[in-house]
């Protein structure tokens, strides 16, 4: 007799079998690793994803201690006691344990980072009978986190570097503004002095020309010419610094005779520094070179002008031209006031003037010009100096000029 609402035994078995197959299908299709443990920690089931990730077959896992197989050690390979394992804690305390950063070990001894959840299982009476563990391989996530962390660190480092660069740039800008302010003040002073002298001389010539002797008139005219030449040279220096800083200056090499060039520079200086005692020596007579004549003239004029400016008229200035295998060497040695040691690192900075020359007229551009021109000519400059004993500047310019491919074909 059939009871309404109940299933025949054959129907019940079929239904249970269908549910079992459905559950197996779900477990087998899951992308996460899933396995079950009994109260002793032995594997009761494991899906294919779990077996595949740890390198064991499903049959090999059944009845084995999963802790001994895949959770026996910490990432540093130190032992991981079972009593401390969160997986087994689930069927001791009845709580769900979720861990986001541990490792499981494969059959081949390698490990991989995992995130897992251990959920306690209870029977119909509510007794703890085991646990179900689900886990996933988080290697890609760890890699992404590491990449993100590295990117963050790189960005932070770049921000710090950029901030430091901006701070340095700001400091340099402040220093440059201060130097420009000092420079403007010095230039104004340098121009005002000769302009006042010119104004005085012109006034005297205009008002008293009939009372002045011819010699006095010539003296005033020569003074005016010297002051105009001084201001012209100062303007040329300022413009030259501006052109080199703006990269608008390039060498224009030509064939020149070095000894003649040096002697011409000496004669030019002695027109305005009649008391200067310059002794010239050369070990390479009639030596032709392929250099920029204007740049070389500016270098030599500035070197000798400095020697004259910071020496007494009666002191001898040695000017030497040496021809070495790879270099033309120009040396200017004076017996003047010398350069303090603390000023020497800043000799070639624009507008910088030494601490012991504040009473001597000058703009602090001469050595800056020398350095820029020497760099353009692929040369080097050396300085040796002692306060009270004098200074020697030594300039080396290459004999085989790097712009020689611009030379006209013979």
Q: What is the pLDDT of residues 39-67, one digit of tens each?
A: 889 999 999 999 999 999 999 999 999 99
Do 220 and 364 lie in one domain? The reply is: no
CATH number at residue 129: 3.30.450.20
- Please give the pLDDT value at position 403: 46
pLDDT at 5 over 60: no
Q: How many helices, marked H, and strands, marked E, lie in the chain?
A: 10, 12
- Please give the pLDDT value at position 409: 34
pLDDT at 22 over 70: no
At 351-400, the pLDDT tens digits run 666 666 666 666 667 788 888 889 888 899 999 988 888 899 999 999 87
Query: Does 318 reside within a domain?
Result: yes
Domain count of the fold of the chain? 3
Which of 198-202, 280-284, 339-343, 365-369 is predicted least confidently? 365-369
Do 211 and 238 lie in one domain? The reply is: yes
Question: Rounded distance, CA 308 to CA 301, Å?
Answer: 10
Most confident of the following: 69-78, 284-293, 306-315: 69-78
- Please give the pLDDT value at position 332: 93
Do 223 and 254 lie in one domain? The reply is: no
- Please give the pLDDT value at position 1: 43
Q: How distant, in Å, are the alpha carbons of 24, 61, 62, 66, 103 from that of 44?
A: 13, 8, 6, 10, 22
Write out 249-288 in H/E/C secondary structure.
CCCCCEEEEHHHHHHHHHHHHHHHCCCCEEEEEECCCCCE
Do 29 and 125 lie in one domain? The reply is: yes
Which has the higher per-residue pLDDT, 33 or 22?
33
- Please give the pLDDT value at position 350: 67
Q: How would residue 347 be classed by pLDDT, with cut points 50, 70 and 90? A: confident
Question: Rounded distance, CA 74 to CA 5, Å?
Answer: 55
Query: Does 24 reside within a domain?
Result: yes
Q: Is 396 exposed, middle or buried (0-12, 13-18, 19+ CB in 10 A)?
A: buried
Do 217 and 279 lie in one domain? The reply is: no
Tokens of 178: 């201060």
The residue range of the domain holding 98 is 9-137
Do 277 and 310 lie in one domain? The reply is: yes
Query: Does 337 reside within a domain?
Result: yes
3-state secondary structure of 162: helix
Do 133 and 182 lie in one domain? The reply is: no
Mean pLDDT of 320-340: 89
pLDDT at 323 over 80: yes
Write out 301-363 in H/E/C secondary structure.
HHHHHHHHHCCCCCCEEEEEEEECCCEEEEEEECCCCCCCHHHHHHCCCCCCCCCCCCCCCCC
Q: Name the DSSP class of 73.
A: B
Query: Does 254 reside within a domain?
Result: yes
Query: Does 81 reside within a domain?
Result: yes
Query: Does 1 reside within a domain?
Result: no
Residue 246 main-chain phi, psi, to 5 deg: -90, 5
Question: Rounded distance, CA 251 to CA 243, Å?
Answer: 12
3-state secondary structure of 155: helix
pLDDT at 404 over 50: no
The residue from 202, 219, 244 where one domain ends is 244
Do 257 and 400 lie in one domain? The reply is: yes
Query: Does 239 reside within a domain?
Result: yes
- Please give the pLDDT value at position 18: 61
Q: How would residue 286 be classed by pLDDT, with cut points 50, 70 and 90? A: low
Q: How would residue 3 be classed by pLDDT, with cut points 50, 70 and 90? A: very low
Which of 80-94, 127-141, 226-240, 299-313 is predicted least confidently? 226-240
Query: Does 3 reside within a domain?
Result: no
Do 104 and 215 lie in one domain? The reply is: no
Q: Global pTM?
A: 0.47
CATH number at residue 232: 1.10.287.130
Q: Is residue 60 a contact partner of residue 75, using CB atoms and an 8 Å limit?
A: no
Do 15 and 112 lie in one domain? The reply is: yes
What whole-number percentage of the chain has pLDDT above 70? 82
Q: How would residue 247 be classed by pLDDT, with cut points 50, 70 and 90? A: low
The residue from 228, 244, 260 where one domain ends is 244
- Rounded to the nearest integer, the mean pLDDT of the chain is 83
pLDDT at 2 over 50: no
Which of 39-53, 84-98, 111-125, 286-300 is predicted least confidently? 286-300
At 137-175, the pLDDT tens digits run 999 999 999 999 999 999 999 999 999 999 998 998 888
Do 254 and 386 lie in one domain? The reply is: yes
The residue from 118, 137, 156 where one domain ends is 137
CATH number at residue 390: 3.30.565.10
Mean pLDDT of 98-119: 94
- Please give the pLDDT value at position 408: 36
Question: Rounded distance, CA 315 to CA 308, Å?
Answer: 9
Most confident of the following: 227-236, 238-247, 290-299: 290-299
Do 31 and 64 lie in one domain? The reply is: yes
């Amino acid at each position: 007799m059939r009871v309404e609402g109940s299933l025949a035994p054959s129907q019940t078995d079929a239904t249970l079998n269908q549910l079992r197959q459905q559950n197996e299908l779900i477990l087998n299709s899951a992308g996460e690793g899933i396995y079950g443990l009994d109260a002793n920690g032995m594997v009761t089931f494991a899906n294919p994803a779990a077996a595949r990730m740890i390198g064991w077959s499903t049959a090999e896992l059944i009845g084995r201690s999963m802790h001994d197989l895949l959770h026996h050690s910490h990432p540093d390979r130190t032992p991981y006691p079972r009593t401390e394992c969160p997986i087994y804690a689930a069927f001791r305390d009845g709580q769900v344990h979720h861990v986001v950063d541990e490792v499981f070990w494969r059959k081949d001894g390698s490990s991989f980072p995992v995130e897992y959840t251990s959920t306690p299982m209870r029977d119909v009476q509510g007794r703890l009978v085991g646990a179900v563990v689900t886990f996933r391989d988080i290697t890609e996530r760890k890699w992404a986190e590491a990449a993100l962390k590295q990117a963050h660190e790189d960005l932070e480092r770049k921000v710090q570097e950029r901030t430091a660069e901006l701070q340095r740039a700001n400091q340099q800008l402040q220093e440059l503004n201060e130097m420009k302010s000092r420079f403007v003040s010095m230039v104004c002073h340098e121009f005002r002095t000769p302009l006042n002298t010119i104004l005085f001389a012109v006034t005297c010539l205009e008002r008293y020309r009939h009372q002045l002797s011819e010699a006095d008139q010539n003296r005033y005219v020569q003074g005016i010419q010297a002051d105009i030449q001084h201001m012209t040279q100062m303007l040329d220096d300022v413009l030259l610094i501006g052109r080199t800083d703006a990269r608008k200056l390039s060498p224009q090499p030509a064939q020149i005779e070095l000894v003649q060039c040096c002697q011409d520079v000496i004669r030019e200086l002695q027109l305005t520094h009649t008391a200067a005692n310059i002794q010239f020596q050369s070990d390479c007579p009639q030596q032709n070179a392929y250099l920029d004549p204007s740049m070389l003239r500016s270098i030599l004029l500035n070197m000798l002008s400095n020697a004259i400016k910071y020496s007494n008229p009666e002191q001898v200035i040695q000017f030497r031209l040496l021809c070495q295998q790879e270099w033309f060497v120009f040396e200017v040695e004076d017996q003047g006031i010398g350069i303090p040691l603390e000023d020497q690192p800043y000799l070639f900075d624009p507008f910088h003037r030494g601490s012991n020359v504040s009473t001597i007229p000058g703009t602090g551009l001469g050595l800056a010009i020398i350095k820029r021109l020497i760099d353009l000519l692929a040369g080097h400059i050396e300085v040796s100096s002692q306060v009270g004993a004098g200074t020697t500047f030594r300039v080396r310019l290459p004999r085989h000029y790097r712009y020689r491919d611009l030379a006209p074909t013979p």
